[in-house]
Amino acid sequence: MGNTFGQLFRVTTFGESHGGGIGVVIDGCPPKIEISETDLQRELNRRRPGQSKITTQRKEEDRCEILSGVFEGKTLGTPIGILVRNKDARPEDYAEIADKFRPSHADFTYVAKYGIRNWQGGGRASARETIGRVAAGAVAKKILSILYSDFEVVAYVAQIHGVIANVNRSAVKMKDVETNAVRCPDAAAARKMESLIEQIRGEGDSVGGVIECVIRGIPPGLGEPVFDKLEADLAKAMLSLPATKAFEIGSGLAATRMRGSEHNDPFETRGGKIRTATNNSGGVQGGISNGEDIYFRVAFKPAATIAREQRTVTSSQLRTKLAARGRHDPCVLPRAVPIVEAMAALVLCDHALRQKAIGLSVDRSEASSDEIRRRGRS
Amino acid sequence: MGNTFGQLFRVTTFGESHGGGIGVVIDGCPPKIEISETDLQRELNRRRPGQSKITTQRKEEDRCEILSGVFEGKTLGTPIGILVRNKDARPEDYAEIADKFRPSHADFTYVAKYGIRNWQGGGRASARETIGRVAAGAVAKKILSILYSDFEVVAYVAQIHGVIANVNRSAVKMKDVETNAVRCPDAAAARKMESLIEQIRGEGDSVGGVIECVIRGIPPGLGEPVFDKLEADLAKAMLSLPATKAFEIGSGLAATRMRGSEHNDPFETRGGKIRTATNNSGGVQGGISNGEDIYFRVAFKPAATIAREQRTVTSSQLRTKLAARGRHDPCVLPRAVPIVEAMAALVLCDHALRQKAIGLSVDRSEASSDEIRRRGRS
Amino acid sequence: MGNTFGQLFRVTTFGESHGGGIGVVIDGCPPKIEISETDLQRELNRRRPGQSKITTQRKEEDRCEILSGVFEGKTLGTPIGILVRNKDARPEDYAEIADKFRPSHADFTYVAKYGIRNWQGGGRASARETIGRVAAGAVAKKILSILYSDFEVVAYVAQIHGVIANVNRSAVKMKDVETNAVRCPDAAAARKMESLIEQIRGEGDSVGGVIECVIRGIPPGLGEPVFDKLEADLAKAMLSLPATKAFEIGSGLAATRMRGSEHNDPFETRGGKIRTATNNSGGVQGGISNGEDIYFRVAFKPAATIAREQRTVTSSQLRTKLAARGRHDPCVLPRAVPIVEAMAALVLCDHALRQKAIGLSVDRSEASSDEIRRRGRS
Amino acid sequence: MGNTFGQLFRVTTFGESHGGGIGVVIDGCPPKIEISETDLQRELNRRRPGQSKITTQRKEEDRCEILSGVFEGKTLGTPIGILVRNKDARPEDYAEIADKFRPSHADFTYVAKYGIRNWQGGGRASARETIGRVAAGAVAKKILSILYSDFEVVAYVAQIHGVIANVNRSAVKMKDVETNAVRCPDAAAARKMESLIEQIRGEGDSVGGVIECVIRGIPPGLGEPVFDKLEADLAKAMLSLPATKAFEIGSGLAATRMRGSEHNDPFETRGGKIRTATNNSGGVQGGISNGEDIYFRVAFKPAATIAREQRTVTSSQLRTKLAARGRHDPCVLPRAVPIVEAMAALVLCDHALRQKAIGLSVDRSEASSDEIRRRGRS
């Protein structure tokens, strides 16, 4: 259980780091969306290992194959099956630790839960699992772009350890993010981050940081009251990513030191639309989008795999030591940027379809759909 | 949609702040659990308005009635319906704002979403909705206590605006929390918080803060890999609460400034069990509980309803002003403590049942499955 | 578990025959639908005991109260809570059988499943549970009427024991059905059925029969491929009703004796639309509606409760005898007619909303929505 | 949507008849179950085309590959991905009908629903889709055999057109079924059926019939009250199969002509257990298994694809004719037998896990929970 995400745009992933491959099934994709393996590959390449000198040097091509659901370049409305074969696996890197519980990894908890462990790598807990999310996210982005002409999701590294970027959240574009290997749009900070990551790698250690994400062009009305609030689903989406420790929407933790009179976002009329003068809400009020930019921050811990020797125990409760031999990321954030975007797109696409389900009937009752659309979108 | 929470222990809430009442249906509750209206009422009273001078002075008794699913004091295994009637409603407090969008409330977004608004108060977005969550949480706590003899969930106010409490997270008990109206176990800080809240109320303003929650006695193995990670479901649960802006599990944001060698929790053997020497993971690794204390923090914004005059617009896009007339909480945190506990219990109870379905967890907790059967039935 | 039906139009029922009451929560109802307690009551009265001399003489008013989700006569988009209080309960009718397992009732299986039993009547297995379904069905019918101007669902008794009605399935209207107490539109057969039921009641026995249901005005395109085929969801809906033993869609069992060349429904053009010349498919092909009348048949067994003495055992495995003392229906079919209609409406309403979720995006891709609508509907 | 089946044992299928392949993801499979490609292949071979002279002569090997979720021969508890590549596709068989709607096929309804059609064969509506169900069913059977030592599911052809088999439902075994190509355990009837099918094929036509299925060894307690009754889920499972038109549980349609005093199954004590003297209930009472054999019947229509010329229309509403050129089954029942078994196993496995979640079922089955644990793990 727990391998499916979404209510209407339903994404089910499968696969371990070692074995036949990693895949995803997307159920509920609307028909006649143009989608190709090239579209998916573009996003998968941003996630791929070995893409720059600051990521792991494992050579994984991560070539995807669309198995079903697309015909003559268009979605059929039927489930889209996508498969990426596993390659360049070196189980021998792991043989030594087959019986050891790596600190802050999922080795121990998987054994506790299932009584069995695929010791050839991270198994299902490996970040390779996110391949399916990124592929599905590429489809979700496409749908959102069709539904909302101004739709845009931009994630970027905002902090690595003590280095904090200075980014204009309202203006930053994906091309600004992709200018450097760290995926930080502040060039000066990016250089510092890159040096820091190289240094940390040299020390056999790892660092964490913060990814910020801004979503533009979402009309008012997405998100469900009560349990499936938009920020609740975003929080779940982000905390379901490996290595994440915190989620902040809008003002986030800073809100705890503000007064209501400072924090409230006054409504005003701008460009003929109802807008808020400030955006501490982060684009969501009462769990529902209000038409402003949606933005949030995700905290990542330093990667658990480090070259330094650490103490731990074996499954027989014997004290032991271990040091990672594999080729690992000293900092997961640069490669996590497209993953954060993908999860954000999955959440929004699901809520967009959910809103469509209740939305058409309105225009058959008294309120015209035009009015709704006017309020909602324009 | 979006009014149901949980996969196996399924909680569906209904009701607006004004109308017939607020209720909840719990589907999937195991049979033969002793439960009474008194059990529920105890928790509901902790959430109730008017319980102290620093909360709203609305007089709502919030008496609950169990409509179904309990027979001769025990659960039947069938859905438990619970109803709390609405009372002391003063729609006239709201008449004036029927056409105005209150800043940072859900008035605007509900209209954008549904094209209709119950203007007599917060409607479905009112914090009254959480009554159903608290009632269901009381049932979940009971089940968890039966399954895990050391189970305990303790939430408390850790920060109000600039006042930060000093709390021993490993030792704090619910009775420590209930010693003062703020629900902060640090008595000195509690006094400062109380003064601050009174002062802020006097100024017609509001403040936010942080609630911390610790869960003890959960065996290793709860939580699902990938999307339904334990921390992901906790994050969703907390961000689904009104006025929340951030969630941190374990080390949280602080992790972003640590190195892997500092942050990793080494495994060791303690008391014959595999334990971690530190607990930056917050009791969850790879989305699955590891047997350590689970702890997290939730940030609340200052309440949106303030007595001070604010500018806004009407639904006809005309500029206007408004000032809250109703009786409101200047700080929602003291009453939110039992709500945070309830949501935590719902998440854990659901995952406990999910783990039972695949068969291994029970005999890995200290309590033997026989004992569980004995307690659960007799 | 198992008390929720539907994916987007989600209906959760609760309540036992004895206890606080019977209720339902509808989540996912579109906003701005006009709905009142009168609308619901009209359908509930068709299901109510004591409505004619051939039904049970229990006096249950079954007055419903809308607790939430409706404001000033219109749905809010939030969950609609509906409650019907239990009245006229006579637990003493059941005291004698508290320890006996009534043949072909759910007494034994509930104990086997839950280890506990509400012996004061049928508990959750009572047909009273269907009150919630009928109330929700009334809302679903309203939505379907708004979406599809020609929508109509008509169920009727087609057979009681050996008496078979002669009904023109294409023309029968609800008013024809409501002309007699049996709810059989063939007046001559209805008279025979009524006599038969009276006679059977006199003999302390019971009879079963067949309800047929026809749904008109559904456009092509509702229903999902593979598991959630329209006929699969209808079959589940019908077999979830108490006392049902079989379901046939379209040609049903008769299809097993036909050849493909006889059974296939040739396509033709009629009134400018693509239609089938015959309708052995029952309005569904490949799990998806094809625009023709959808029709199906549901078989009901004779009611399990009979006045005649029967042998059985106690929970201590002792042989015993019992004879029903309560006031029961010798034939459940007349009151089951509105229940069959309600379940059919729930299935179709859910699929209508599901189809809307994928349907709007199409018109933003190459194919215009007009084209789809033209093909699909007109 | 609609491509996932089950609540806890969740099966998601994907794939069209033409394209990359057909697959399935099983989420929620308990860990440490021994499973291999050989186990799956055994069942897939029973479903495979070309296995005998009375089935289609298409040569499809249908070799399955387990992509994930199994390690060193045992399930990991993580999703099991299974893929069968498409081979021997002859799209040219379909080119001619790309624009024609085949009578009683899903061509028209898919276009109506999605506005697009994979014309190279049946697409998603092809019976090839059931490959995923059969593979998942093989896993479900294995789990059920571990949970319930006497578990057995046996389906067989009970009727082809007018030829009715005489089968002792209580005694029939799978080996009796597999003795002939028709999968009918009555040898004399099987011979007649085989001749009939050959004759019908010669006439370019097709025939339908009835498959009966009996499930033994299920303890009392499986199935949920109200919507997810065991027979409701079985009905849905069966009506979700291509070409099915009716479902009967236990006495089925025959119940409509019985009186309550005949139909009720008296309880008695047999072998120290509470049993029913007769089994008109079909092993299910109030939606919950009662420990008796569960049996049901499924009606299949004659296959829609026939060699005879038929009239139909094109998507431009022009009259036309068509005759199937491909290699097709004149009667789908022999190959549908393992599919019916698979769906039955999916339903029961799901309900078995659901029952484990609430805690009581295991110790009510004959097998002790200890034994289950022993088998399940070691």
Q: On the CB side of C82, how many CA atoms lie within 13 Å of its CA?
A: 32
Q: Which of residues 10-69 of D touch B (CB under 8 A)?
A: 28, 30-31
Phi, psi at residue D368, to the nearest 5°?
Answer: -75, 155
The DSSP 8-state label assigned to residue C81 in this structure reads: E
First to last CA, chain A: 40
For residue D91, pLDDT beyond 90: no
For residue A150, pLDDT beyond 50: yes
| Average of per-residue pLDDT across B269-285 | 97
For chain A, say whether B250 makes contact (Cβ under 8 Å): yes
For residue D59, pLDDT beyond 90: no
| Average of per-residue pLDDT across D84-113 | 86
Taking CB atoms and an 8 Å limit, are D104 and C281 in contact across chains? yes
For residue C367, pLDDT beyond 50: no
Q: Which residue has the higher pLDDT, A73 or A1?
A: A73
For residue A339, pLDDT beyond 90: yes
Residue C7 token pair: 């994916």
pLDDT digits (tens, 9 = 90+) for C223-267: 999 999 999 999 999 999 999 999 999 999 999 999 999 999 999
Residue D360 pLDDT class (50, 70, 90 cuts): very low
Chain B nearest CA to A81, separation (Å): 18
Q: How high is the pLDDT of residue A85? A: 96
Q: Which domain does D316 fall in, by range?
A: 4-377
Q: How high is the pLDDT of residue D375? A: 38
Q: How high is the pLDDT of residue D24? A: 98
On chain C, the residues whose CB falls within 8 A of the CB of A364 are 146-147
Q: How many domains would you assign to chain B?
A: 1
Taking CB atoms and an 8 Å limit, are C304 and D264 in contact across chains? yes
Residue B285 pLDDT class (50, 70, 90 cuts): very high
Distance CA C158, CA C169 (A): 10
Q: Which residue has the higher pLDDT, A289 or C52?
A: A289
Whole-Å CA distances, B239 to A35, A235, B15, B17, B184: 34, 7, 20, 20, 21
Q: How high is the pLDDT of residue C252? A: 98
Distance CA D365, CA D352 (A): 11
Average pLDDT in chain C: 91
Residue identified by tokens 């089951």 is C336
From C7, C32, C147, residue closest to A367, measured CB to CB:
C32
Residue B121 pLDDT class (50, 70, 90 cuts): confident
- Mutation to test the C interface, candidates D109, D203, D222, most C Cβ within 10 Å: D109
On chain D, the residues whose CB falls within 8 A of the CB of C17 are none
Return the CATH number at B343: 3.60.150.10
- Mutation to test the A interface, candidates C1, C9, C32, most A Cβ within 10 Å: C32
DSSP, collapsed to helix, strand or coil, labels residue B187 as: helix
For chain D, say whether C164 makes contact (Cβ under 8 Å): no
pLDDT digits (tens, 9 = 90+) for D180-237: 999 999 999 999 999 999 999 999 999 999 999 999 999 999 999 999 999 999 999 9
For residue B269, pLDDT beyond 50: yes
For residue B262, pLDDT beyond 60: yes
Q: How high is the pLDDT of residue A56? A: 74
Q: How high is the pLDDT of residue A49? A: 85
Q: How high is the pLDDT of residue B95? A: 77
pLDDT digits (tens, 9 = 90+) for A28-57: 999 999 999 999 999 999 998 888 887 777
Give the CA angle between residues C106, C110, C111 to the nearest 5°. Answer: 120
On chain B, the residues whose CB falls within 8 A of the CB of A238 are 235
Q: How high is the pLDDT of residue C50? A: 81
Instruction: Count Cβ neighbours within 10 Å for each residue of D168-179 and write b for 16 or more, e otherwise.
Output: eeeebebebbee
Q: Which residue has the higher pLDDT, B372 or A343?
A: A343
Chain B nearest CA to A67, separation (Å): 22
Q: Which of B77-86, C75-84, D95-104 has the lowest mean pLDDT?
A: D95-104
Q: Would you report the helix, strand and coil content of chain D in percent, each value rounded to 5?
A: 35, 20, 45
Phi, psi at residue C358, to the nearest 5°?
Answer: -100, -5
Chain D neighbours, 3+ Cβ pairs < 8 A: A, B, C
The DSSP 8-state label assigned to residue D320 in this structure reads: E
Q: How high is the pLDDT of residue A88? A: 63
Q: Which residue has the higher pLDDT, C358 or C214?
A: C214
The DSSP 8-state label assigned to residue B307 in this structure reads: S
- Mutation to test the C interface, candidates D267, D269, D312, most C Cβ within 10 Å: D267
Q: How high is the pLDDT of residue C363? A: 33
For residue C55, pLDDT beyond 90: no
For residue D60, pLDDT beyond 80: no
Distance CA A221, CA C12 (A): 25
Taking CB atoms and an 8 Å limit, are B116 and C71 in contact across chains? yes
Chain A neighbours, 3+ Cβ pairs < 8 A: B, C, D
For chain C, say whether A361 makes contact (Cβ under 8 Å): yes
Taking CB atoms and an 8 Å limit, are C28 and A367 in contact across chains? no
Residue D345 pLDDT class (50, 70, 90 cuts): very high
For residue D373, pLDDT beyond 50: no
| Average of per-residue pLDDT across B191-197 | 98
Give the CA angle between residues D79, D84, D85 to the nearest 5°. Answer: 135
Share of chain B above pLDDT 70, in %: 92
Instruction: Count Cβ neighbours within 10 Å for each residue of C196-215 and write b for 16 or more, e otherwise.
Output: bbeebbeeebbbbbbbbbbb
Answer left, alpha or beta for residue C317, where phi above 0 means left and psi between -120 and 50 means alpha: left
For chain B, say whether C4 makes contact (Cβ under 8 Å): yes
Taking CB atoms and an 8 Å limit, are A361 and C28 in contact across chains? no
Whole-Å CA distances, A54 to A49, A51, A202, A329: 10, 8, 11, 7
Taking CB atoms and an 8 Å limit, are B115 and C31 in contact across chains? yes
On chain C, the residues whose CB falls within 8 A of the CB of B67 are 14-15, 19-21, 23, 83
pLDDT digits (tens, 9 = 90+) for A226-283: 999 999 999 999 999 999 999 999 999 999 999 999 999 999 999 999 999 999 999 9
Taking CB atoms and an 8 Å limit, are C359 and A358 in contact across chains? no
For residue C288, pLDDT beyond 80: yes
> C-alpha C351: how far from its chain's center?
16
Q: Would you report the helix, strand and coil content of chain A in percent, each value rounded to 5?
A: 35, 20, 45
For residue D82, pLDDT beyond 90: yes
For residue C358, pLDDT beyond 90: no
What residues contact C292, with CB distance under 8 A and at least 6 apart? C265, C275, C276, C279, C281, C282, C283
Rounded to the nearest 10 degrees, the angle between the axes of helix C130-147 and helix C333-359 is 50
Helices (H), B222-332: 230-239, 260-263
Q: How high is the pLDDT of residue C323? A: 85
Taking CB atoms and an 8 Å limit, are B376 and D359 in contact across chains? yes
Residue A357 token pair: 């389900």
Q: How high is the pLDDT of residue D51? A: 85
On chain C, the residues whose CB falls within 8 A of the CB of B68 are 14-16, 19-23
For residue B290, pLDDT beyond 70: yes
Chain A nearest CA to B92, separation (Å): 23
For residue C325, pLDDT beyond 80: no
Q: How high is the pLDDT of residue B266? A: 97
Work out the burial of residue D220: count CB atoms within 10 Å of its CB; fewer than 13 is exposed, 13-18 middle, 19 or more buried. buried
Residue of B nearest to D351 (CA): B357
DSSP, collapsed to helix, strand or coil, labels residue A11 as: strand
Residue of C nearest to B79 (CA): C14
Q: How high is the pLDDT of residue A326? A: 66
For residue C56, pLDDT beyond 80: no
For chain D, say whether A273 makes contact (Cβ under 8 Å): no
* Cβ proximity of C49 and C60 under 8 Å: yes
What residues contact A243, with CB distance under 8 A and at least 6 apart? A127, A208, A300, A301, A303, A304, A332, A336
| Average of per-residue pLDDT across D336-352 | 98
The model's pTM = 0.95
Sign of dihedral through CA atoms B171, B177, B180, B184?
Answer: positive
For chain C, say whether B374 makes contact (Cβ under 8 Å): no
Rounded to the nearest 10 degrees, the angle between the axes of helix B230-239 and helix A230-239 is 160
Residue B88 pLDDT class (50, 70, 90 cuts): low
For residue C120, pLDDT beyond 90: no
For residue B325, pLDDT beyond 80: no
Taking CB atoms and an 8 Å limit, are B261 and A306 in contact across chains? yes
Q: How high is the pLDDT of residue D261? A: 97
For chain C, say whether D240 makes contact (Cβ under 8 Å): yes
Q: How high is the pLDDT of residue A362? A: 34
| Average of per-residue pLDDT across B60-74 | 93
Residue of C nearest to A8 (CA): C357
pLDDT digits (tens, 9 = 90+) for B341-370: 999 999 999 999 999 988 743 333 333 334
Q: Which of residues 296-335 of D touch C (CB under 8 A)?
A: 299-306, 308, 310-313, 317, 319
Q: How high is the pLDDT of residue B374? A: 42
Q: Which residue has the higher pLDDT, B220 or B57?
A: B220
Task: Please give the ipTM for the structure prediction.
Answer: 0.94
On chain D, the residues whose CB falls within 8 A of the CB of C268 are 311-313, 319
DSSP string, B62-92: --EEE-SSEETTEE-SS-EEEEEE--S--TH
